[in-house]
Structure 1
Amino acid sequence: MSRRREPKFFTNLPIDTGCSMLRVCSFESRKQAEMASLIRRQGGEATVVASMQEVPLEDNRAVWEFAEALRAGSIDVVVFLTGVGAKAVLQVVETRSDRDDFFAALRGCVRVVRGPKPAVVLREWGTPADFVAAEPNTWREILTVFETSLLLSGKTVAVQEYGQPASELHAALAEQGAEVISVPVYRWELPDDIGPLSDAIQATIAGRFDVLLFTSANQLNNVLEVAEKAGKDAWLAAAQKCVIGSIGPTASERVRSFGLTVDVEPEHPKMGHLVRETLEAAPQILSQRSGD
């Protein structure tokens, strides 16, 4: 007699599967172990499956052209959106030139970062950021920096991209008279092994989760891409019955764009805050939905 195949999920420590525990699924890819630990510390049953991976672009022409323009003094402002992306830019630059020359050129322009992670990288380079966008660190907070502190008319602004073009930011900067240069360094793809993600999608449809957590907008894109095979509409219907936690406005906007409700968005866009606030609110939300 054949046995039913059980989903394979990322696990860090043995977990108590008591019925009183909230069953939590996170699609975090880069910090799976940390996310699983955070969920368990809050008393949840953790399922953490990778939903995406960062793949460096093979054609780095945009980065080289950016570095050349920077050295020529043709760029007035550089915006770094991620720490990983900033490091990737330097790695590409170093294949053709000296890092100190790049740093010297970078000091000659205004440096704006989206949040604390790229700020740390720039400090390590000896080129500290002139402006750090406030929380929740979206393109809107970056735009506020320009609206309150920098005149962009006639300026050239280079934007380090992460995964996909920041089209809203580009449009807003262009409206203020800036010439915007896109500097992509990597793209987001599905994990090499989508088995765990597929299993989690099936488990969601089967009603095996109480809580779904999203730490980036692109996680939902990839979940839905894989869900096409299992039934995208079925997954969306099942997800709507779960408590959904989103780490910040950008991810929340994407979640809502598919007709889903964001039940919890923490005041601070950090994984620890997301897990704690969502799991604290989940029992009452689930009780209200069940009519208890």
Structure 2
Amino acid sequence: MSAPTTTEAQVPPLAGFTVGVTAARRAEELGTMLERRGACVQHGPALRIVPLADDAELEARTRDLIARPPDVTVATTGIGFRGWIEAADGWGMGEDLLAALSRGELLARGPKARGQIRASGLTEVWSPPSESSAEVLDHLLEEGVAGRRIAVQLHGEPLPDVVEALEMAGAEVVEVPVYRWVPPADLAPMDRLTDLVLGGGVDMLTFTSAPAAASLLARATERGLREELVAALRGPVLVVCVGPVTAAPLEAVDVPTLQPQRSRLGAMVRALEAEAPARARRLPVAGHRLELRGHAALVDGELKAVPPTGMALLRALARRPGRVVSRAELLRALPGGGDDEHAVETAMARLRSALGVPKLIQTVVKRGYRLALDPSAGPSPLGGHCVSGDER
């Protein structure tokens, strides 16, 4: 294979791939980042956020902490801590809450939480370099928590392991649900995204919160599709999570995930961008370089939009490059199936047209079709008389 051409180098790294976005918050930002890298983005929010000012549980916990200030407050997210203070301001308790928190120690799980603590006029005493809730827990247990009142700001879902460990060590833990995730009011977009995943229309699926992953699985269970969805996420679909907390509900059902080293949106997109080349299939065919991506192909580095039926045929041929694939087998590979082999001929003609180089695919008389794999790349077909790809 020769080095990439200038044209090839200019093809965006995610071009030809379809990426599903389950996020609600920052969904537009994530979608824009993916589209700039060439991806086709499918949105299906798997949750929505309950407005802080409408959350009676948060107001009750805030009043309790003002009345009995905590010895330690753990801020897990910047947006959550800021939202808590803003909600308290709306209830006329902002200054009282800040005064109560200032009487104890503040720990920040990461730099964004640390920044919001300082923006509120407070100062944290410690923050872990790993940005990990587990390291925050280890730090607290090492210091000793027996008899101490600890407020833990949640980041969208409970932290049962952290809370249980602190309580077993003798602490009184006050969970602060600064924002809560609930299923989306309109389930249709999430259902459509799930259906696309099951139908092979999504190459990569992204998650930015554990509740989104849990919500998608729960909805699939309601629809009787859980086993099929989990199977798809274990196999052809690459699952990308912003960090280990987000990945937990998926890894609990043995779904492998790709995660960046740092739990950041940009880092997640860069990790996906780096992984994408491994998802492509590259073959030397008829003196050209053919690369198969999710819903498109590259021929000598030039992106070719291929219709779904064409991609189905191309993938079937690429599973056994150079070998003859019968019309009957190709017919079974077509979306929707059917029993008319003429549909294969029609789809094949469109595929050749889309690729722009008809000789990439050869017709084998009375037998089927094959990719014209270069002789040095692998085995040639067994038997059958080939005619040029642009002959019928």
TM-score band, normalised by the shorter chain? Answer: 0.7 to 0.9
| 2:30–2:265 CA contact under 8 A, matched in 1 | yes
Q: How does 1:1-292 map to 2 (within 5 A)?
A: 21-55=16-50, 56=52, 57-59=55-57, 60-70=59-69, 75-94=70-89, 97-135=92-130, 137-147=131-141, 150-228=143-221, 229=223, 231-240=225-234, 241-262=236-257, 264-285=258-279, 287=281
CA distance in structure 1 between the aligned counterparts of 2:201 and 2:138, rounded to whole angstroms? 42
Cα distance in 2 for residues equivalent to 1:167 and 1:193: 29
* 1:173-203 deviation line (CA, Å, top 9, x unaligned): 2233322122223321111222111111110
Identify if the C-alpha distance between structure 1 residues 163 and 269 changes in structure 2 by more than 3 Å, giving closer, same or farther: closer
TM-score (norm 2): 0.62
SS at the partner of 1:159? strand
- Name the CA distance, whole Å, in 2 between partners of 1:216 and 1:107: 29
- Contact kept, 8 Å, 2:65 with 2:97, in 1: the verdict is no
Match of 1:11 in 2: none
Unmatched runs of 5 consecutive residues or more in structure 2: 1-10, 283-317, 322-392
Q: With CA pairs under 8 Å and 6+ residues apart, which has the higher RCO, 1 or 2?
A: 1
Of 46-55 and 78-87, deviating more is 78-87
Runs of 4 or more consecutive aligned structure 1 residues displaced over 3 Å after TM superposition = 91-98, 285-288
The offset of 1:287, in angstroms, is 4.6
- The CA RMSD over aligned residues, in Å, is 2.5
Partner deviation per Cα, 1:78-120 (whole Å, 9 max, x = no partner)? 1122233323432443355553333233222100122222222
Which structure has the larger Rg over C-alpha atoms?
2
1:81/1:160 contact within 8 Å kept: yes
SS of the residue corresponding to residue 182 of structure 1 reads: strand
Deviations 1:143-171 (A, max 9, x none): 133245x3323221111223332111112
Cα-to-partner distance string for 1:206-235 (whole Å, 9 max, x where unaligned): 000111111111111111122231611122
Distance 2:100 2:60 in 1: 18
Output the CA distance in 1 between the equivalents of 2:37 and 2:178.
36
Contact 1:81 1:162 in 2 (8 A): yes
Deviating more after overlay: 168-177 vs 187-196:
168-177
Identity in percent: 24
